[in-house]
Amino acid sequence: MDAYIGLATAYKLAGATSDAISTLSLAAAIQPNSSFLFAETATLQFKSRFGQTFPFPNGHDSANLIEAVICAHSKEIDSRPQNPDLYYRLGILMMSVARLGEAIQSFRRALEINPTYHRARSKLAVCLFEIHQRDLALNQLTAPDYLDKDSLQLHYKVAMLYCDRLKFASSLMNLDRLLENNFTRADATVNISIVLQNLGLLDRVMVTWDNLSDTARQSIGPNHPFLPGQLF
């Protein structure tokens, strides 16, 4: 889908609006496959954590599983409201169950926190196209120069720092310590991960797998609703 979004963006920038719309239509046509595979991966992670103690009376049917995963992400957002990746993942889950209005809200929130999260922008463009908001969808197809000089410099510095793994790890720990009492801050580690994924220095599949696994693990913690007497 990224290739279609890139081609649609190129058409738009070249002034070929009809070709841009046609290409965006192709991206929208294959998007359900991506959402389905993501949702399946998330539900399998969730199911493996609960095993035979899944807390719904109808058992492990797909509808219960996906709703449980959606609820888990929503609850984690409550405790980490400045984490753009959680909103991005929730948006994809909403797409998988055809709740496009809520998906749009999630992707927009992710972009408010991190405007460089281009995967969230691509998904937002597809959602807007699907609800026949074509002009708004095309507005999401932006040129690379939308990044300001400071943002580009940040990407460069993070990439260089990442090459020294020990110094990089030490810097992250110091940053977390510096910001731990600032409850309005964006999730620094997550945003740095997004920068590294944008640059191709982190494997997106592995990062997504690890993040889904972490959310599934959090879902059976003491403060999560999936405990006896606390369901929804």
Q: Would residue 232 count as lying in a domain?
A: no
pLDDT at 161: 81
- The residue range of the domain holding 154 is 147-201
pLDDT at 52: 53
Q: Would residue 4 count as lying in a domain?
A: no
Model pTM score: 0.77
Helix (H) or strand (E) holding 147: none
pLDDT at 231: 40
Cβ burial of 23 (10 Å; 0-12, 13-18, 19+) is buried
Task: Provide the H-helix boundaries in the chain.
Answer: 2-13, 17-50, 62-79, 84-96, 100-113, 118-130, 134-139, 149-162, 165-179, 188-198, 204-218
Q: Would residue 221 count as lying in a domain?
A: no
Please tell me what DSSP assigns to residue 183.
T
Q: Would residue 172 count as lying in a domain?
A: yes
Number of domains in the chain: 1
Q: Would residue 114 count as lying in a domain?
A: no
Q: Would residue 185 count as lying in a domain?
A: yes
Q: Would residue 163 count as lying in a domain?
A: yes
Tens digit of each residue's pLDDT, the chain (232 residues): 889 999 999 999 999 999 999 999 999 999 999 999 999 998 888 877 766 555 554 545 667 788 889 998 999 999 889 899 999 999 999 999 999 999 999 999 999 998 888 899 999 999 999 999 999 999 999 876 666 777 778 778 888 887 887 777 777 666 666 555 554 455 667 777 777 777 777 777 788 878 888 887 877 665 555 543 444 3
pLDDT at 58: 52
Q: Would residue 156 count as lying in a domain?
A: yes
